[in-house]
């Protein structure tokens, strides 16, 4: 009597091709094995895999945030026929990373972004108390003037302040070349790829005809307890 072979149960894992892995690596710069794992987790969906890698990049960034960034580079960007100029200092941990094409690309992109959006601060933590209180008072007065109860007005102010941060803080702004990610997320992705802490230290933006210039210096990051 012939024996019958019972097929082994399938684990339902998608068959990820080398081409899919290469495409994801080209778009994100993440290591090959990380790309394959992300694609497997996303069932082969490229967009979902990109999101997974971004989230993991943020996790890597948080782990490395306490590391000292004493290397890096200063870059310039001149725009609009010489009418707008930017100097920006971006820091990393080693001179080796500072000389990589990925890091140079990041510094150039950040300088170009600053030229286009004119942020006033590097991070939310850099917003001065006077600026914070002024904006909060304006938003609260507007909410109260519209007849909203105090507790509703306070909630409205919270939402308005988040929008304020997005407008004036470099790290909170959507990246001009990819509006689906902020500058903070852009930096986190580079941290995940290059394996070092990266931070924007300071920048200056000048525009012909403006009475003043924008100069922003970031406070040292506080280590988590």
Q: Give the chain's domains with CATH numbers.
A: 16-64 (1.10.8.10), 68-126+169-225 (3.30.479.20), 129-162 (no CATH)
Please state which of the ranges 40-49, 105-114, 135-144, 214-223 shows the lowest mean pLDDT: 214-223
Residue 73 CA to residue 91 CA, distance in Å, equals 7
β-bridge partners, 71: 92
Task: Give the tokens for residue 49.
Answer: 């895999």
Question: How many CB atoms within 10 Å of residue 156?
Answer: 16
pLDDT tens readout for residues 91-120: 999 999 999 999 999 999 999 999 999 999
Indicate the average pLDDT of the chain.
85
Strands (E), the chain: 71-79, 84-92, 174-175, 178-182, 199-207, 214-217
How many Cβ atoms from other residues are within 10 Å of residue 162's Cβ?
12
Query: pLDDT value at position 168?
Result: 95
Say how many CA atoms lie within 13 Å of 37 toward its Cβ. 8
d(CA 34, CA 37): 5
In this predicted structure, what is the pLDDT of residue 123? 95
pLDDT for 166-218, tens place per residue?
999 999 999 999 998 999 999 988 988 888 889 999 999 999 988 888 999 99
Tell which wins on pLDDT, 91 or 62.
91
């Amino acid at each position: 009597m012939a024996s019958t072979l019972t097929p082994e149960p399938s684990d339902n894992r998608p068959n990820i091709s080398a081409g899919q892995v290469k495409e994801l690596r080209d778009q994100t710069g993440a290591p090959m094995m990380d790309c394959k794992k992300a694609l497997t987790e996303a069932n082969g969906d490229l967009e979902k895999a990109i999101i997974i890698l971004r989230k993991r990049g943020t996790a890597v960034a948080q782990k490395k945030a306490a590391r000292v960034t004493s290397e890096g580079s200063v870059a310039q960007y001149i725009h609009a026929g010489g009418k707008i100029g930017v100097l920006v200092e971006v820091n990393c941990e080693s001179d080796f990373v500072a000389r990589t094409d990925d890091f140079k690309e990041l510094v150039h992109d950040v300088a170009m972004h600053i030229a286009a959006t004119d942020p006033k601060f590097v991070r939310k933590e850099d917003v001065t108390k006077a600026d914070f209180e002024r904006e909060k008072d304006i938003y609260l007065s507007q909410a109260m003037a519209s007849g909203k109860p105090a507790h509703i007005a306070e909630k409205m102010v919270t939402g308005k302040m988040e929008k304020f941060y997005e407008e004036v803080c470099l790290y909170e702004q959507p990246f001009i070349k990819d509006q689906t990610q902020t500058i903070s997320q852009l930096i986190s992705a580079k941290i995940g790829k290059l394996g070092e802490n990266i931070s924007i230290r300071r920048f200056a933006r000048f525009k012909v005809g403006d009475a003043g210039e924008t100069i922003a210096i970031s406070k040292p990051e506080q280590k988590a307890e």
